Amino acid sequence: MTTTTDLPVLDHYVGGAASQGTSTRTGPVYDPALGEQTKSVRLASADDVDAAVAVAKAAFAGPRGWGSSSTAKRQQVMFAFRELVNARKGELAAILTSEHGKVLSDAAGEVARGLEVVEFACGMPHLSKGSYSENVSTDVDVYSLKQALGVVGIISPFNFPAMVPMWFFPIAIATGNTVVLKPSEKDPSVANWMAELLTEAGLPDGVFNVVHGDKEAVDALLVHPDVASISFVGSTLIARYVYETGTSHGKRVQALGGAKNHMLVLPDADLDLVADAAVNAGFGSAGERCMAVSVVLAIDSIADEVVSRVRMRMDKLVTGDGRGSADMGPLITREHRDKVAGYLDVATTDGADLVVDGRDVVADGAADGFWLGPTLVDKVPTTSTVYTDEIFGPVLSVVRVASYDEGLALINGSPYGNGTAIFTNDGGAARRFQREVEVGMVGINVPIPVPVAYHSFGGWKASLFGDAKAYGTHGVDFFTREKAITSRWPDPSHGGINLGFPQNE
């Protein structure tokens, strides 16, 4: 019988190679579809983080360091990395499924969206150009440069262990920074896999480093004097902590937090499209994504029909092992499954109608998997925690509203402002909605409005702390700092002294 001491241990990746570090602490890594621990992962100490930062700092510095590397060299690495990932994306998707639990098709989609940002970073020579103004005064020119920050820290969540790091590190590396990534300890293997491919792509040792860990590693990055910035995705509670701690230690911070995304359905909408969208956006990745639709706001006159059509589609969904033919996989851990399932008792207590109870699911997988089937809750009171909390699981709530105005007020009254959607065939209503809604990303007949890589991802209110969204032009600006230079090359015959304040001539 295999014991946990017989299981492999995933090391850190520092300086181009696996590194055990000094800490003896480890954490379990599970296959959620089997309910079994498959390996352990090392949990870094503050000293381990310090060592990784020191390696990254050395890789950045000096005339031969990555911070002084040519644009051409950076682009060669990005193009090579893109080709390597694309050629082996099936392998990456399989790792994702084995540790996260999402079905293979969903894992493949995650890889594809991450690659969009890699491809965006391949255009960095154009994106990181400065500007030049000639003769702003007599014989005086002003121009600007965009330069790298130095060592940057990335702290990524369990739900997208490939895509979210790829939101940040391709842009960071392509602009000349060196990286220390702290992935989720729940599904850590993808980070090492990407680190190895970056080395294979020609990235110098120490430019991209992976340090596994828990809060101790996070805190070490947040306070480290040699870490110039922090990029974070996770819950709102932790995002606020990361932002406040990081900025108080002089760092740039972009901290993307939680969400409670609403989908407003107007009476003129295509209800088949609505039902398909609600199921796809509510139960994809087992609802473990910050852009999941968790609340359908249905106008009273069509609410019964919306619920009926959603339920009809849910009856056909198969929950099971993502390596088979299932539509939806397990949740990430047993503890998280139990926490999400606990909200269904709350829904009943609060007077909601439990239309489909995911606890009754018969999964196509091992009996010990972390299963919770798609769940539909109707007539959810807006005072219930089922409505107010970010559940982060396959629970779709229906709230019935009398009008567009009531639905809009509920969305704008939420403390979150990540994503939202409206379903309608009325262009005027859609245009009004996109202007009036207080949310960072809006879909019109699109349930999950995640922007393409050349736009930027991020919400409003408690869904984003800091001024910079992820990737796109926000990402380029975040990972660079501008230097303005005023230059004059006077004629050799010019002379004289003038102690007055400089003036334009």
Residues that are catalytic: 290
87: amino acid identity, one letter: A
Residue 396 to residue 386: CA distance in whole angstroms: 10
Residue 491 to residue 493: CA distance in whole angstroms: 5
Q: Cβ distance 477 to 252 under 8 Å?
A: no
Let me know the angle formed at the C-alpha of 115 by 222 and 34, rounded to the nearest 5 degrees: 75
The residue among 1, 28, 29, 34 whose CA lies nearest residue 368 is: 34
Q: Cβ distance 246 to 253 under 8 Å?
A: yes
Parallel, antiparallel, or unpaired: how do β-strands 178-182 and 151-155 relate?
parallel
**What b/e sequence results for 402-421 when a residue is b if at least 16 CB atoms lie within 10 Å of its CB, and e otherwise?**
eebeebbebbeebebbbbbb
Residue 339 neighbours by CB distance under 10 Å: 14
| Sheet of 252-256, strand order | 17-19, 12-14, 208-210, 178-182, 151-155, 227-233, 252-256, 464-465
Would you give the DSSP letter of residue 352?
Answer: -
Size of the chain in residues: 505
- Provide Rg for the chain, Cα atoms: 25
The residue among 263, 336, 252, 337 whose CA lies nearest residue 293 is: 263
Q: Cβ distance 15 to 55 under 8 Å?
A: yes
483: tokens are: 């230097």
Would you give the DSSP letter of residue 319?
Answer: B
User: What string of DSSP letters covers 170-232?
Assistant: HHHHHTT-EEEEE--TTS-HHHHHHHHHHHHTTPPTTSEEE---SHHHHHHHHH-TTEEEEEE
Q: Cβ distance 190 to 95 under 8 Å?
A: yes
DSSP lists the bridge partners of residue 147 as 481
**What b/e sequence results for 211-235 when a residue is b if at least 16 CB atoms lie within 10 Å of its CB, and e otherwise?**
bbbeeebbbbbbbbeebbbbbbbbe
272: amino acid identity, one letter: D
